[in-house]
Amino acid sequence: MALMTGEQYIASIRKRKMQVYMFGEKIENPVDDPILRPSLNSVRMTYDLAQMPEYQDLMTVISPDTGERINRFTHIHRSTEDLINKVKMQRLLGQKTAACFQRCVGMDAFNAVYSTAYEIDQKYGTPYFENFKKFMLYCQEKDLTVDGAMTDPKGDRSKAPHEQADPDLYLRVVERRKDGIVVCGAKAHQTGALNSHEVIVMPTISMGPEDKDYAVSFAVPMDAEGIYMIIGRQSCDTRKLENAPLDVGNEEFGGVEALVIFDHVFVPNDRIFLNGETEFAGMLVERFAGYHRQSYGGCKVGVGDVLIGAAAVAAEYNGAARASHVKDKLIEMTHLNETLYSCGIACSAEGKPTKSGNYMIDLLLANICKQNVTRFPYEIVRLAEDLAGGLVVTAPSEKDFRDPDLGPVIDKYLKGTENVSTENRLRILRLIENLALGTAAVGYRTESMHGAGSPQAQRIMISRQGNLAQKKELAKAIAHIAE
């Protein structure tokens, strides 16, 4: 079986015995939990679209290793066309869910580990590349969702991993056995871990020789013994418990984050991809970050498409669509959104093959892409709030709207244009609230800032990749300066 249906995916997650905690309680049935289910529906969309002939070229690809059709999320990029189609696929999914669909981190980890493991093997004769290929083929055959776990809690940022007062603040190897390793630590901000079959763990920073125990990459099932997760809160998450879908804004789809704890988790030898080769930790981090920053030129753009559309609808419902300033604001939102997409496509088109043969995006342009993502969505949100009007934050609840006495009053005074129902006006405003004001933090505004690394992390990479010395020589040549 190379491609699961959405129903099969849901059933496969239901079989997993994950240890999940939320609001101080263990969640025995995460699949049907009303707060968590929308995030599962978002991942399901990656399976449903792959079954549709009109999306086959974006959502699936023929594996060069097996000749079978596989989901693109389990694919190793073999060309710039693959890189471009990745971004196009992510935009499509953003448009269909208006939320985080969560499989990007695993796909980006796949490609970063693939090329890095190959180069470790070339230097040390290790079996990491073959280990990873075996894992990759398993995930392709089963069409598994894989979480990519990079971010450690980090503790005191001024200290290296081995210098921390608590050694578990960076995930580490605590025991090396003949048949594998045992690890302890945690990974924070884990997008989609709850809805994944497997997790690929990677180091989070470059490391020196003293950090050997922290330079580790591996894969284990999400329900492996010793793994448990604590679900992160999102603004307005408990609205989903109120049986008031109008208030939720995006009833069907959403995202989820978790703090994932690794409490003496055993990793067999054939699931290890890095184990103490500290000089390759930075390479793995840099490559994963590059791929993931490319991703934001697709997923954020797709969600942006929905927000721009919602703002335009709100303006129509308010009777303001013909105003010149409204048209200009929608043009500006579109300009910013398409600029993000242009960066995602550009870094893909400029991709080059690694030593392993898979394709790496242009790192400079990928970091430019993500740097813009830390800014442009905030302006798009500001303009959407402007066009929506104050009612986006002052509208009464659905219970008030459904009340036999209050409902007619709300309907009378909150109606916009004559041919649009008050309910539809409230629905579009709640969607804007969901996207713009943080009620769907995993998906657009807030996550645009720190997802795939902080803004400063991109600026550091831009400094490294910007080749200022070459630019200085170009200027000196034009000015006929000889030194």
pLDDT score of 439 more than 60:
no
Mean pLDDT of the chain: 96
- Out of 9, 47, 77, 100, the active site residue is 100
- Out of 151, 191, 422, 446, the active site residue is 191
* 118 and 219 fall within a common domain: yes
pTM for the model = 0.96
- Out of 170, 214, 296, 359, the active site residue is 296
**pLDDT tens sequence across 157-201:** 999 999 999 999 999 999 999 999 999 999 999 999 999 999 999
Q: Is 343 a catalytic residue?
A: no
* 38 and 59 fall within a common domain: yes
Mean pLDDT of 365-372: 97
- pLDDT grade for 234, boundaries at 50, 70 and 90: confident
Mean pLDDT of 255-274: 97
Q: Which domain holds residue 55?
A: 8-281
pLDDT score of 408 more than 80:
yes
Q: DSSP 3-state assignment of 280?
A: helix
* 299 and 313 fall within a common domain: yes
- Out of 75, 77, 189, 292, the active site residue is 292
Q: Are 363 and 289 in contact (CB under 8 A)?
A: no
Residue 222 lies in a domain: yes
- Out of 47, 75, 77, 104, the active site residue is 104
* 288 and 276 fall within a common domain: no
Q: What is the CATH number of the domain that holds 363?
A: 1.20.140.10
- pLDDT grade for 366, boundaries at 50, 70 and 90: very high
- pLDDT grade for 460, boundaries at 50, 70 and 90: very high
Which one of 281, 302, 328 terminates a domain? 281
* 233 and 187 fall within a common domain: yes
**pLDDT tens sequence across 112-121:** 999 999 999 9
Q: Is 28 a catalytic residue?
A: no
Which one of 281, 302, 337 terminates a domain? 281
Task: Give the dihedral of Cα atoms 74, 78, 81, 83; nearest 10 deg.
Answer: 50
* 271 and 309 fall within a common domain: no
Q: What is the distance between the alpha carbons of residues 10 and 40, in angstroms, rounded to a whole number?
A: 8
pLDDT score of 211 more than 90:
yes
* 244 and 304 fall within a common domain: no
pLDDT score of 386 more than 70:
yes
Q: Is 191 a catalytic residue?
A: yes
Instruction: Average the pLDDT over each of 27-36, 92-101, 333-342, 446-455 and give the range with the smallest value.
Output: 446-455
Q: Which one, of 453, 156, 95, lies nearest residue 309 by Cα?
A: 95
Which one of 233, 258, 281 terminates a domain? 281
Q: What is the CATH number of the domain that holds 148?
A: 2.40.110.10
- Out of 257, 277, 385, 398, the active site residue is 257
Task: Report the pLDDT value the prediction gives residue 391, as an integer from 0 to 100.
Answer: 96
- pLDDT grade for 415, boundaries at 50, 70 and 90: very high
Mean pLDDT of 224-230: 98
Task: Report the pLDDT value the prediction gives residue 451, as an integer from 0 to 100.
Answer: 86
* 276 and 289 fall within a common domain: no
Q: Which residues face 267 on adjacent strands? A: 181
* 243 and 384 fall within a common domain: no
pLDDT score of 442 more than 80:
no
Distance separating the N- and C-terminal Cα atoms of the chain: 65
User: Into how many domains does the chain fold?
Assistant: 2
The residue type of 8 is Q
Q: Is 347 a catalytic residue?
A: no
Q: Is 126 a catalytic residue?
A: no
Q: Is 299 a catalytic residue?
A: yes
